[in-house]
Amino acid sequence: MKKIPLLVLGAALCMANIAVAATVTKSNSDKVIGQETAVLTDAPAVPPRITRKHATKVIVNLEVKELEGRLADGVSYTFWTFGGKVPGKFIRIREGDDVEFHLNNHPDNKMPHNIDLHAVTGPGGGAAASLTAPGHSSVFSFKALNPGLYVYHCATAPVAMHVANGMYGLILVEPKAGMSKVDHEFYVMQGDFYTQGKNGEQGLQAFSMAKAIDEKPEYVVFNGAAGALTGDNALKAKKGDTVRLFVGVGGPNLTSSFHVIGEIFDKVNHEGNTAAPAKNIQTTMIPAGGAAYMEFKVNVPGTYIMVDHSLTRAFNKGALGMLKVSGDEDKTIYSGKMTDEVYLPEGTSMRNAERSQAQAPTAKTKADRVKLGEAIYNNNCAACHQTTGVGVPQAFPPLAKSDYLLNGKAPTIKAVTGGLQGKLVVNGNEYNGVMPAWTLSDEEVANVLTYIYSSWGNSGDEVTPEEVKQHRVAPVKHVE
Ligand SMILES: [Cu+2]
């Protein structure tokens, strides 16, 4: 009778010991020790696995750059990027880390930007704290409470436009236990692009807000361009290797049905969770603003095609990449028949450039001016003010029948050459946005404004290069 309580006591002591030990281990691994600067990589590269067994302070330096780049063969686009490429730099940290985030907006940029990291616990995911004007740098910090693979993106209004221009990337918060070693890790991110011109139309393409609102992209691509992962850019592995793909969807709109033709994912961590992989998956769905990672062993050499299994996106709009597996001459039907040419998206390099990139001619008549101005308008202004000049409610004021234009030519010339920001009332509606200053010549400003004045029920005035010269102002500095 007396033995039982003793046993119970012994068991209780024993459990208490275990509990104490567990607490010690936990607090050790939670303690933030030391400091390091995050290694950031451009897709498809991934920063090295984290081997440290404790949390640390991690400094992340990310620079926003707006730059023209290739979207498809003969098609270029002004991308807004986190680090110079689409998708943005891959960030890899560990659960429990204290992150000091520096968002730098390059002085050559035209727009303010910020960052919302889905790995952040806090209002806006960092967005309000990181709103940064061109030529400025913002700092905020957060603790990585939850492990997982997370999307980050710009959240500056109009948010969908910033995201559509390429402002997204992935941040991996490794669980405390770490991640297993594999032979290759790759970074792939899907995005939908909305260009004024149809798929394949050559030259620099402006953003179409109308197509974005309709969710009708001309391009759906991996890693920022059609062909970013095909041919010489294909991912590479050797027979017998284990491969881990970190796949995100920046959107802004489309969900990906991600699939690798000829492979079965041995493990999929749905929605970026680090706890429980699903096994033996054919196609995994990745939502806009979401991510997943998957592992598989490549047993057979050949070329494996990665697609969004909504297949016209893959074969007609660009969402197609390749993983080339080398190894013994064990030719499969895939490696035998699939060539880069066959699988390049249709239509991307078919059309000839109709427009010559030569110096724009000088207008001799008002009609010339209107015609030349239309092209300038479509390339520079239509993205926000829309091809029909109607603007976008709450974001971009109209130019069609705009009462602002009735103030006279001088304020309009000032707005275009110097930029415009702050509260503005057009046709009774308030706007509070930022229009960058345009680096256009006197001739170009004259032409685009003559086009605007001559269109959509406006006054029909002509603006001459002399008037532009007279009223031109230096670009206004953005204020925070
Ligand atoms: Cu932005």
Tell me the CATH number at 459.
Answer: 1.10.760.10
Pair (307, 407) in one structural domain: no
Give the Å distance between the CA of 102 and the centre of ligand 1: 15
240 and 133 within one domain:
no
- On whether residue 335 sits in a domain, the answer given is no
Tell me the pLDDT tens digit for each residue of 391-435. 887 788 999 999 999 989 999 999 999 988 888 999 999 998 888
CA of 114 to the centre of ligand 1 (A): 6
Q: Is residue 113 a known part of a binding site?
A: yes
Task: Quote the ligand 1 centre to 111 CA distance (angstroms).
Answer: 7
In a domain, 406, yes or no: yes
β-sheet with 148-153: strand ranges across: 91-94, 168-174, 148-153, 116-117
> Would the pLDDT of 384 be above 60?
yes
Asked whether 281 and 241 are in contact (CB, 8 A), the reply is: no
Rounded CA-CA distance 117/59 in Å is 15
Helices (runs of H) and strands (runs of E) counted in the chain = 11, 23
Q: Average pLDDT for residues 187-216, to the nearest whole number?
A: 96
Output the pLDDT for position 359: 53
Interval between CA 163 and ligand 1 midpoint (Å):
7
Residues 59 and 163 in one domain: yes
Identify the three-state secondary structure at position 222: strand
Region for residue 348 given its phi and psi (left: phi exceeds 0; alpha: psi -120 to 50; beta: otherwise)? alpha
Is residue 184 a known part of a binding site?
no
SS3 category, 296:
strand
Q: State the pairing for strand pair 302-308/256-261.
A: antiparallel
Last residue of a domain, one of 181, 197, 212: 181
CB 463, CB 450: distance < 8 Å:
yes
As a whole number of angstroms, the distance between CA 117 and CA 168 comes to 9
| Alpha carbons 185 and 172: distance in angstroms, whole number | 12
5 is a domain residue: no
84-128 confidence digits (pLDDT tens): 999 999 999 999 999 999 999 999 998 999 999 999 998 889 998
Give the chain's mean pLDDT: 87
Percent of the chain surpassing pLDDT 70: 86
Complete DSSP assignment for 154-200: --PSSHHHHHHTT-EEEEEEE-TT-----SEEEEEEEEEE-BSSPTT
Domain match, 289 and 172 both: no
End-to-end CA distance of the chain: 77
From 181, 201, 236, the end of a domain falls on 181
- Please tell me which of 332-346, 359-373, 376-390, 452-466 the model is most confident about, judged by mean pLDDT: 452-466
CA of 119 to the centre of ligand 1 (A): 18
Domain count, the chain: 3
Confidence at residue 29, expressed as pLDDT on a 0 to 100 scale: 54
Query: Are 82 and 153 in a shared domain?
Result: yes
- Which whole-number Å values give the CA distances from 287 to 55, 96, 153, 178, 248, in the listed order? 30, 26, 14, 25, 8
What's the gap in Å between 104 CA and the centre of ligand 1?
12
Q: What pLDDT sits at residue 65?
A: 96
- pLDDT, residue 20, reads 41
Res 480: pLDDT:
34
Q: Could you tell me the distance, in angstroms and rounded to a whole number, from the CA of residue 419 to the centre of ligand 1? A: 17
Looking at residue 75, which CATH number applies to its domain?
2.60.40.420
Is 471 annotated among the ligand-binding residues? Answer: no
Q: 80 near 105, Cβ under 8 Å? A: no
**Cα 391 to middle of ligand 1, angstroms:** 19
Distance 250 CA to ligand 1 centre (A): 13
Q: Span 173-198, mean pLDDT? A: 97
Do 75 and 173 sit in the same domain of this protein?
Answer: yes
Q: Is residue 428 part of a domain?
A: yes
* pLDDT attached to residue 303: 87
255, 309: one domain: yes
On the question of pLDDT at 297 being above 90, the answer is yes
Q: Consult the annotation and say whether 309 binds a ligand.
A: yes
Residue 215 in any domain: the answer is yes
112 C-alpha vs ligand 1 centroid, how far in Å? 6
Average pLDDT estimate for 203-229: 96
Question: Is there a binding annotation on residue 102?
Answer: no
256-283: per-residue pLDDT in tens? Answer: 999 999 999 999 999 999 998 999 999 9
Distance in Å, CA 103 to ligand 1 centroid: 11
Please tell me the distance between residue 80's alpha carbon and the centre of ligand 1 in angstroms. Answer: 7
Q: What confidence category does residue 173 fall into, taking pLDDT thresholds of 50, 70 and 90?
A: very high
Same domain, 162 and 223: no
CA 172 to centroid of ligand 1, rounded, Å:
21
Query: From the CA of 142, how far away is ligand 1's center (Å)?
Result: 20
For residues 294 and 359, which has the higher predicted lDDT (pLDDT)?
Answer: 294
Domain that holds residue 462: 366-471
Phi, psi of 337 (to 5 degrees): -110, -25
Q: How many residues does the chain have?
A: 480
Mean pLDDT on 201-218: 95
Q: 288: CA distance to ligand 1 center in Å? A: 17
Asked if the structure places residue 165 within a domain, the reply is yes
pLDDT tens-digit readout, 318-370: 999 999 999 875 655 344 544 444 444 555 443 333 333 345 578 899 999 99
CA of 191 from ligand 1 middle (Å) equals 15
- What is the reported pLDDT for 351? 35
Res 341: pLDDT: 47
In the reported structure, the alpha carbon of residue 396 is separated from the centroid of ligand 1 by a whole-number distance in angstroms of 16
- Where would I find the beta strands (DSSP E) of 270-385? 278-281, 283-286, 290-297, 302-308, 320-326
Last residue in a domain, options 138, 166, 181 = 181
Residue 29 lies in a domain: no
Same domain for 166 and 225? no
Pair 149, 62 in one domain: yes
φ and ψ at residue 300, rounded to 5 degrees: -125, 130
Could you report the per-residue pLDDT of 22-40, keeping only the tens digit for each? 444 444 457 999 999 999 9
| One-letter identity of residue 382 | A
Instruction: Report CA(105)–ligand 1 centroid distance (Å).
Output: 9
Query: Which residues are 65's β-sheet partners?
Result: 81
Any domain includes 25: no
Query: Does the pLDDT value for residue 13 go beyond 90?
Result: no
SS (H, E, C) 45-89: CCCCCCCCCCEEEEEEEEEEEEEEEEEECCEEEEEEEECCCCCCC
Clarify whether residues 206 and 171 are in a common domain: no
Do 214 and 303 reside in the same domain of the chain? yes
| CA–centroid distance, residue 348 to ligand 1 (Å) | 27
**Residue 162 Cα, ligand 1 centroid: separation in angstroms?**
5
pLDDT given for residue 41 in this prediction: 98
Question: In this predicted structure, what is the pLDDT of residue 87?
Answer: 98
Other CB atoms within 10 A of residue 195 CB: 23
304 alpha carbon to ligand 1 midpoint, in Å?
Answer: 34
